[in-house]
Amino acid sequence: MQNKNDYITMLGTGNALATRCYNTCFTLHGEKGVLLVDAGGGNGILTQLEKAGIRREDISDLFVTHAHTGHLLGCVWIMRMALQFRYSLRVWSHKTMHLKFKYGLPLILLAQIAFMYLISEK
Ligand SMILES: [Zn+2]
């Protein structure tokens, strides 16, 4: 049975080449947390969350549907925020995505952290 407090927030409805809206992604809100489904193609996800009034630390789960950049690259920012501000985030995906998360995204995150460290030293 559907809970009256369950709802969906569309954060983006565009395809990978969208310029006037954000890539397709959305949140599902329920009593057990907020599930973010895909995160678009970059750090624009942070703006979309802010516009929708969704605090990033309230996102309990992230589900990545597939490895196209318009769905995946925003995940880097969501994962970075969770690591940087130390809140928990469960990440879900098809098993074929696990290698990308295991090796690809950590490298991107490390590069970002290294960059932040370098610019903070100046
Ligand atoms: Zn796609």
Question: pLDDT by residue (tens digit) across 42-90?
Answer: 899 999 999 999 999 999 999 999 888 888 889 989 998 998 899 999 9
| Mean local confidence (pLDDT), 8-32 | 91
50 in any annotated domain: yes
DSSP 19-56: SSSPBSEEEEEETTEEEEE--TTSTHHHHHHHHHT--G
Task: Enter the pTM of the model.
Answer: 0.79
Q: What is the pLDDT of residues 2-11, one digit of tens each?
A: 677 899 999 9
CATH code (residue 25): 3.60.15.10
2 in any annotated domain: no
1 in any annotated domain: no
By residue range, what is the domain housing residue 61? 7-120
103 in any annotated domain: yes
39 CA distance to ligand 1 middle (Å): 12
Domain total of the chain: 1
Q: What is the pLDDT of residues 82-118, one digit of tens each?
A: 988 999 999 888 777 766 666 666 666 676 666 667 7
Which of 89, 48, 92 lies closest to 66 in space, CA to CA? 92
Collect residues with CB below 5 Å from ion ligand 1. Answer: 68
Which of 7, 54, 10 lies closest to 30 in space, CA to CA? 7
